[in-house]
Every structure is written in structure tokens, then in C-alpha cells.
């Protein structure tokens, strides 16, 4: 029982109710200890005082002995009446002979009391001695310390009786209450974890008959989750509607344009116009598709898939795929892979798309001949991908803005693109719990994606 | 092949049916999911092309119903929804492939071709031929008109993929998926660069061009 209590307590050490319960137990124990301690000390000193004055009175009774012989007679009489276990009398005559119910010898720091040969046994707890010169010899009267020791034992018993059960009971009760509170807090934590992963149908189990703070927080979170779920559902519905209502006419338009194109003599002006119209329709689709995709990832309705993606293999494939394109533009595309296997649970298609967007950005927005490097590494347990170039880079104040949808740098307005590539990279990073940083490669841009370390991926 | 096209948009359906018939397929067209279910159960189709949004019974439920009735005819979904989950949802419902609208006709035709042949037993070949081009898969040697051609490993895989599917169009996304094992939409024509490098070795020194570009669709190799 007790080890179990301690296990519960130590596991719950991080929770507030447990810390409060432990604190109260400690305060109670300290107050109890101090009170009992003071009572014991003052009782002991007054008992000792009483013993000492008793001894002084006894000692005074022997003042009448005028000679060692008289003293020996008096001591023998007193000694015979007394139990050496309670009180000892010993007279050391001037010639060194010891009379009494105990043998005694003076030492440098007082007196050593031993039982007489063939005498009765002495007390186990020692004696409070009084030493005085009487009739040329030395008289030692010792009072057994047993009552004082018993006082101590009584107080220890008192302490054990009052403190130990109290502490155990409060520990047990505290642990039980804390475990219950902790279980409820954990349920709330788990529900919040699942909600933030996108499982919007998660609810905290209702606790009928409870109206305390935790129950109220739970109810509030449930209401929030309901609202969030409704909003996401509405967003999904709207995107599906827009997707359908906008894409169907786009599909028809492409179909009609293809039909038109078929009927035209190749190379003519009309055929050129039809080709341009087709290209424009494709551009519209690309922007539209990109916006929908980002909205879906960010809408919270998507859970990150947990298929392990081998980042080294993916980055190597990317480098191999874009190698010839880079080479044609006179660029060096370098690859530097971490020696360890970097497996990240996620969506390979999305991470691949993000990498493609970053590589294509580097190819598009830096002059031909500019080097591009791809790197994977492990940094503090976190798998990291870096894509760096030696181009003009992105001014510091623009780095946040380029991650927004449809935002484009002033100087990039003339290059192809829709301003959605980096927004998709940012959304992909968020979906995977990865940190995305746009850094200065001095010169150039370095984009760094740090995935969560193996274990601390959202619970 | 005998195809069933289930699509409620008349313009798109007419265009697709016309294109597929021109390629020699027999195409039946239905606009309603419930009718389609009854029609497929009668049997006889090689590939289904199913729009996800349909009146009567939606595409997902149609294919799910077919699969639970142990009807295994390959199904390709057409959809306006190109979300991350939608594709997975479609494949989970028992679909075999997925195309997001709007798409080029070539892409559809190439994918229908793949689905139609999937059922057929693959022949174990060790030597592939296209015209005077020969690929020995065991010695990993490529020769054309008796001349050795040196290929990089990826070029070899790319050529092998095209030769195994001689005469059939391979779209850029199909090549990305099967040669590089990557599934995404590149904004640049990155596959084109690889094809032109392959051409420089396989076609350029010779009189006849074996690797063809199919406008608006992809590439194929021919005898």
C-alpha cells in the first residue's frame, strides 16, 4: 500500500493538487514535531532538576558523619535500604576502600559506577551522580536515569501515535484525490492533443453530477470543439462546392478549347491563341488548386498521416530529379546527406511537393550559374532539411510575408509563379509539426525545415 | 476495351466518350450512380471511369458498393476535389486511380490503358525491343543498331519503363510516380530534361526517332 502511494505521488509530482497535499502534510508534521519536542525538553529539564535537588538533600544527611568509620556505617545502612538499580551509594574511604551498593571510582571527568562483586545489578540507563567529600573520603550518590529515558520513550510513542497515522492518512487521501484529479486533467490533456491534431470530433467525456472547475473547463472545451468542428465542416463544404462549381466550367472550357484547337491549322494565329487560352486556363487551375490545398491543410480537418518518410531517400531523389535542370542552367546542385537514417512520420507527397517548390524557387529566382545545396542533418535529435542558394536572398523584413498566400517580392513580379509555393511549404511544415525558418545564407537564402524529434511528436 | 463512363456533366462526358472511342474503345455513358451500379453488376466492363459527384448515388458509394459485392473491375475516379484526404478516401473506397479535374485527355487515356492491362499477367522478359533498340535486362546493356549505348542508372530505368509499355503513352506524373517514386506536381517540366538527355543518347546519333512526345499528354516509345 505505502509503496503504491509513493509511486502515485511521485508520478503525480507535476500536478498542482498533489503538490498542495504534500505541502500540507509537511507543514502539519513540522508543527507537531516542534510542539512535542519543546514539551519533551522542558519536562526533561524539570525532572532532572527535581532529581538533582533530591540528591543534594540526601547528601546533606551524611554531614553528621564525623569519621570515615561513621560514614561507612551510615552508607552501608542507606545502601542496604536502596535498590542499586534505582539509587546507588558508594563511599570511598581515605584508604581507598569502597563501601555501598555499587563500586565507584573517580575518573578525570567524573565518576565510574560499576556493580559490586556479588552485589545486585545496576540500572541500564546510567545514573545522575552527585560527588562530595565526607569525613576525609568521597561519597557518591547516583540516581538512576531510567525515569528520564522513559520520558523520552513516552514522547517517542506519543509522536508515533499522533504523527505517523496522520501523515499516512493524509498521504493516502492526498494521493487518491490527486490521482483522481490527475486522471481528469489527463483526459482533458489527451482530448486537447487529439483536437490540435485535427480530430475535431473528440470530446471530453461528460461527468454527470460534477460542477467543479475541471468539469466546467471540460464543458467549455467541448463547446469550443463543437464550434470548431462546425466551422471546419462548413469550410470543407464551401471548398467542395467552390471546387465543384468552378472546376466543372473550367473542365468544360479546357474541353472546348481542345476541340477548338483540334480543328485549327497548326502554326496559325488562331491555334496560337487557343494554346495561350489553354495555358491561361491551366494557370487558373493551378492557383485554384494551390489555394484549395493550402486551405485544406490549414483548415485543421486533415490529420498528418503517420507513414514513415525516409528524408534522405526523398532529398536524394529530388536532387537526382532536378540535377539535369540545374546543370543545364550551369548550376552546381550539391547534396549532403546525414549518415543516419532520417525517418519522419508524414505525407511523402506533401513533403516532396514542398521540397520541389523550394528547389524550383531557387532555380527560378536566382541567376543561372548560382549554386544550390540540399542538406539533411540531425540537430538536437531533430531531423532537418536545408535548401540553400547563393542568390540575392530575401530581405529580413520580407521573410515573414513571403510565407503568405499570393504574396510576391517586388523583383519577382515578372518571373512565373503564383505566390503559393512558399505558403504551401509553410502549411506542410505546420501540418508535420516542423519548424520552418528562412535564414540568411550570406549571401543567399537558406530554408530550414526542422521536424520534431522522434518521441516528442504531439501526443 | 469496354469502358463505362459515369459522369453527369454532359459536355465533359461527350468529349471524353468521343476521345476514348477514337482510340478504339467501346464506351457506354451513364449520368446516374444508381443506374451505373445496376449496369456494372450485369458485367462485361474492363474499366470504369467514375465522377465522384453524381446524382442518385455518389461515385465513392458506387465503387464501395461494387467492391462489397466482390466486383473487382478497375475503377478510375474523376473529381473536382484535389485535397490531401480526397485521394486517400477515393483509393480506400476501392478506387484504383484518381484524376483531378480539369485534366488533359491524354492523362486519362494513358491511365485507362494502365488499368485495363493491370489484370493481364505480366510476361517475364529479359530482353526488351523497340525498333532496332535492344535492352538486355540481365546484362543491363542497351544497344541500337549494334552500337552500345551508355546510360546512367536512372536513364536506364526511364528507358526500361517506356520500353516495357511500348506504344502506350506515359504521362509526366506517371513517370514521376513509377521511375522516381515521387508523387507531386512539378511546376516546371523537370521530366522533359531527363527525356531530352535520354534522347540525346538513344535517338540523336541515329536516323529515326523512337521516343515520341505526345502533345498535352506525355511520351511513348514506338517500333
CATH number at residue B56: 3.40.50.2300
Say if the Cβ atoms of A293 and B105 lie within 8 Å: no
What are the E-state strand segments in A256-407?
Answer: 307-310, 333-336, 343-346, 372-379, 382-389
For the cut 60, the answer to whether the pLDDT of residue A370 exceeds it is yes
Grid coordinates 576525609 are at which residue?
Answer: A136
**Do B65 and B106 belong to one domain?**
yes
- Is the pLDDT at A459 greater than 50? The verdict is no
One domain for residues B154 and B199: yes
Q: Which of A326-335, A363-372, B65-74, B82-91 has the lowest mean pLDDT?
A: B82-91
Among B79, B100, B118, give the residue marking a domain's end. B118
Q: Chain B: residue nearest A244 by CA?
A: B80
- Shared-domain flag, residues B113 and B131: no
- Please check whether residues B140 and B176 belong to one and the same domain: yes
Q: How open is the CA angle B107-B111-B113, to the nearest 5 degrees?
A: 120
Among residues B62, B85, B118, the one where a domain terminates is B118
Return d(Cα A281, Cα B7) in angstroms, integer. 21
Greater model confidence, A231 or A316: A316
Q: Please tell me the distance in Å from A261's CA to the nearest CA on chain B.
A: 12
Residues B170 and B96 in one domain: no
**Domain extent listing, chain A:** 1-196, 229-298, 307-450
| Distance to chain A for B65, nearest Cα, Å | 23
CATH topology (fold) of A307-450: Heat Shock Protein 90 (3.30.565)
Sequence-distant (6+) residues with CB within 8 A of A137 are A68, A71, A91, A92, A93, A94
Distance CA(B55)–CA(B78), nearest Å, equals 15
Q: What is the DSSP letter of B44?
A: -
pLDDT tens digits along B7-37: 988 888 888 998 899 888 889 999 998 999 9
CATH code of the domain in which B177 resides: 1.10.10.10
Select the residue of A258, A352, A357 nearest B183 (Cβ to Cβ). Answer: A352
Q: Does B187 share its domain with B103?
A: no
Q: What are phi and psi of B221, to 5 degrees?
A: -115, 140
Cα atoms found within 13 Å of the Cα of residue A362, Cβ hemisphere only: 30
- Phi then psi for residue A318, to 5 deg, are -60, -45
Q: Which residue is closest to B175 within chain A, CA to CA? A: A321
Mean pLDDT of A421-429: 88
Per the structure, how many domains does chain B have?
2
CB–CB contact A352 B84 (8 Å): no
Domain carrying residue B45: 2-118
Give the per-residue pLDDT at A14: 57
A251 close contact with B: CB closer than 8 A: yes
Same domain, B206 and B133: yes
Angle between helices B59-68 and B33-41 (to 10 degrees): 20
Contact A251 B101 (CB under 8 A): yes
Residues B108 and B133 in one domain: no
Q: Answer yes or no: do B11 and B52 share one domain.
A: yes
Distance CA A451, CA A350 (A): 14
Q: Which of A361, A336, A377 is nearest to A444 (CA)?
A: A361
Considering B118, B135, B150, which residue would you say is the last residue of a domain? B118
Q: Which of A233, A316, A325 should we substitute to test contact with B (largest number of B Cβ atoms within 10 Å)?
A: A325
Q: Give the pLDDT confidence of B112-145 residue by residue, as tens digits.
A: 988 887 755 556 778 898 989 999 988 889 999 8
Chain B contact for A368 (CB, 8 A cutoff)? no
Q: State whether B8 and B113 are in the same domain.
A: yes
Whether residue B98 sits in one domain with residue B56: yes
Interface test with A, best of B58, B78, B82 (most A CBs within 10 A): B82
Q: Cβ contact (<8 Å) for A321 and B180?
A: yes
Sheet hosting strand A445-450, strand order edge to edge? A333-336, A372-379, A382-389, A445-450, A435-440
Which residue in chain B is spatially nearest to A294 when comparing CA positions?
B83
Please state whether the peptide bond connecting residue B102 to the residue before it is cis, i.e. omega within 30 degrees of 0.
yes
Q: What is the DSSP string of A29-72?
A: HHHHHHHHHHHHHHHHHHHHHHHHHHHHHHHHGGGG--SHHHHH
Q: Is the pLDDT of residue B76 over 60?
A: yes
B101 and B144 fall within a common domain: no
Using one digit for the tens of pLDDT, what is the confidence trace for A47-68?
999 999 999 998 888 888 888 8
pTM (two decimals): 0.59
At A456 the pLDDT is: 44
Amino acid at each position: 500500500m505505502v509503496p503504491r502511494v509513493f509511486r502515485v505521488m511521485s508520478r503525480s509530482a507535476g500536478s498542482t493538487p498533489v503538490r498542495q497535499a504534500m505541502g500540507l502534510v509537511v507543514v502539519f508534521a513540522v508543527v507537531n514535531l516542534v510542539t512535542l519536542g519543546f514539551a519533551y525538553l522542558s519536562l526533561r529539564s524539570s525532572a532532572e532538576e527535581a532529581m538533582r535537588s533530591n540528591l543534594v538533600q540526601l547528601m546533606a544527611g551524611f554531614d553528621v558523619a564525623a569519621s570515615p568509620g561513621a560514614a561507612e556505617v551510615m552508607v552501608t545502612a542507606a545502601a542496604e535500604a536502596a535498590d542499586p538499580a534505582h539509587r546507588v551509594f558508594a563511599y570511598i574511604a581515605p584508604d581507598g576502600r569502597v563501601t555501598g551498593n555499587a563500586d565507584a571510582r573517580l575518573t578525570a571527568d567524573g565518576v565510574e559506577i560499576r556493580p559490586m562483586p556479588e552485589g545486585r545489578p545496576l540500572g541500564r540507563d546510567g545514573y545522575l551522580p552527585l560527588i562530595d567529600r565526607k569525613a576525609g573520603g568521597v561519597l557518591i550518590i547516583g540516581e538512576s536515569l531510567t525515569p528520564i529515558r522513559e520520558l523520552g520513550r513516552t514522547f517517542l510513542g506519543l509522536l508515533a501515535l499522533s504523527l505517523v497515522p496522520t501523515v499516512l492518512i493524509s498521504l493516502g487521501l492526498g494521493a487518491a484525490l490527486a490521482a483522481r484529479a490527475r486522471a481528469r486533467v489527463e483526459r482533458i490533456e489527451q482530448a486537447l492533443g487529439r483536437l490540435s491534431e485535427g480530430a475535431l470530433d473528440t470530446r471530453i467525456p461528460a461527468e454527470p453530477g460534477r460542477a467543479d472547475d475541471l468539469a466546467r473547463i471540460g464543458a467549455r472545451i467541448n463547446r469550443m470543439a463543437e464550434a470548431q468542428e462546425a466551422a471546419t465542416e462548413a469550410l470543407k463544404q464551401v471548398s467542395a462546392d467552390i471546387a465543384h462549381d468552378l472546376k466543372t466550367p473550367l473542365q468544360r472550357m479546357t474541353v472546348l478549347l481542345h476541340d477548338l484547337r483540334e480543328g485549327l491549322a497548326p502554326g496559325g494565329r488562331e491555334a496560337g491563341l487557343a494554346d495561350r487560352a489553354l495555358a491561361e486556363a491551366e494557370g487558373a487551375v493551378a492557383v485554384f488548386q494551390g489555394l484549395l490545398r493550402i486551405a485544406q491543410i490549414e483548415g485543421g480537418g486533415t490529420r498528418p498521416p503517420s507513414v514513415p518518410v525516409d528524408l534522405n531517400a526523398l532529398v536524394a531523389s529530388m536532387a537526382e530529379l532536378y540535377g539535369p535542370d540545374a546543370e543545364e542552367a550551369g548550376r552546381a546542385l550539391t547534396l549532403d546527406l546525414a549518415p543516419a537514417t532520417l525517418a519522419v512520420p508524414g505525407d511523402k507527397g506533401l513533403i516532396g511537393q514542398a521540397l520541389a517548390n523550394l528547389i524550383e524557387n531557387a532555380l527560378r529566382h536566382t541567376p543561372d550559374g548560382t549554386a544550390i545545396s540540399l542538406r539533411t542533418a540531425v540537430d538536437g535529435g531533430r531531423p532537418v532539411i536545408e535548401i540553400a542558394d547563393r542568390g540575392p536572398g530575401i530581405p529580413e523584413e520580407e521573410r515573414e510575408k513571403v510565407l503568405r498566400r499570393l504574396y510576391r517580392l517586388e523583383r519577382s513580379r515578372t518571373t512565373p509563379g503564383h505566390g503559393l509555393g512558399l505558403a504551401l511549404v509553410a502549411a506542410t511544415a505546420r501540418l508535420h509539426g516542423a519548424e520552418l525558418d528562412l535564414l540568411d545564407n550570406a549571401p543567399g537564402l537558406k530554408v530550414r525545415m526542422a521536424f520534431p524529434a522522434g518521441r516528442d511528436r504531439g501526443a | 476495351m469496354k469502358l463505362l463512363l459515369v459522369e453527369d456533366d454532359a459536355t465533359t462526358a461527350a468529349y471524353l466518350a468521343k476521345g476514348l472511342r477514337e482510340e478504339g474503345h467501346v464506351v457506354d455513358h451513364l449520368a446516374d450512380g444508381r443506374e451505373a451500379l445496376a449496369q456494372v453488376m450485369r458485367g462485361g466492363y474492363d474499366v470504369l471511369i467514375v465522377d465522384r459527384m453524381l446524382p442518385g448515388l455518389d461515385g465513392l458509394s458506387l465503387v464501395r458498393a461494387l467492391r462489397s459485392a466482390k466486383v473487382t473491375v478497375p475503377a478510375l475516379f474523376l473529381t473536382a476535389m484535389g485535397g490531401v484526404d480526397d485521394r486517400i478516401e477515393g483509393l480506400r473506397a476501392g478506387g484504383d486511380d484518381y484524376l483531378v479535374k480539369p485534366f488533359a485527355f491524354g492523362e486519362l487515356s494513358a491511365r485507362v490503358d494502365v488499368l485495363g492491362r493491370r489484370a493481364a499477367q505480366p510476361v517475364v522478359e529479359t530482353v526488351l525491343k523497340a525498333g532496332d533498340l535492344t535492352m538486355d535486362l540481365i546484362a543491363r546493356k542497351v544497344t541500337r543498331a549494334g552500337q552500345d549505348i551508355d546510360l546512367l542508372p536512372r536513364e536506364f530505368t526511364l528507358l526500361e519503363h517506356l520500353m516495357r509499355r511500348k506504344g502506350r503513352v506515359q504521362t509526366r506524373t506517371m513517370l514521376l510516380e513509377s521511375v522516381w517514386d515521387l508523387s507531386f506536381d512539378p511546376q516546371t517540366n523537370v521530366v522533359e530534361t531527363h527525356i531530352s538527355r535520354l534522347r540525346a543518347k538513344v535517338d540523336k546519333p541515329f536516323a529515326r526517332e523512337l521516343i515520341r512526345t505526345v502533345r498535352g499528354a506525355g511520351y511513348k516509345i514506338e517500333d
